[in-house]
Amino acid sequence: MKSERANESQAARPPYASRGNQLILRDVLAIDRTRLANERTLLAWLRTALMLFVTGVTLIKLFEGVLAMEILGMLLLPTGLLAAGYGLYRYLRTRALIGATEQD
């Protein structure tokens, strides 16, 4: 009776099920999805940073002589650089956390 139950439980297990401390396929795929989401988030931060920086340059060049626009452009330049730096920081931090999870 016990051997029949053991055979049934082994047959019901998928071929990629974990043994011991190994990751199963579902976990590996989840880590891959998280890694790709992290890369997409970095690209979104870089796109935003580039938009801020280019808008700042445009305001400075297009509205020469208009003090308010030049000041706004000067504020957007470092804001774009800070956004790129923060996005890169988040990407690296999250990548390290994903790597630590994958090794566990």
In a 10 Å sphere around its CB, with 0-12 CB exposed, 13-18 middle and 19+ buried, how is residue 49 labelled?
A: buried
CA 61 – CA 48 distance, rounded (Å): 20
Model confidence, pTM = 0.74
pLDDT tens digits along 3-57 = 555 555 555 555 445 555 677 888 889 889 999 999 999 999 999 999 999 999 9
What are the residue boundaries of the structural domains of the chain, listed by start? Answer: 41-104
Looking at residue 104, what is its pLDDT? 62
DSSP reduced 3-state for 15: coil
Looking at residue 101, what is its pLDDT? 77
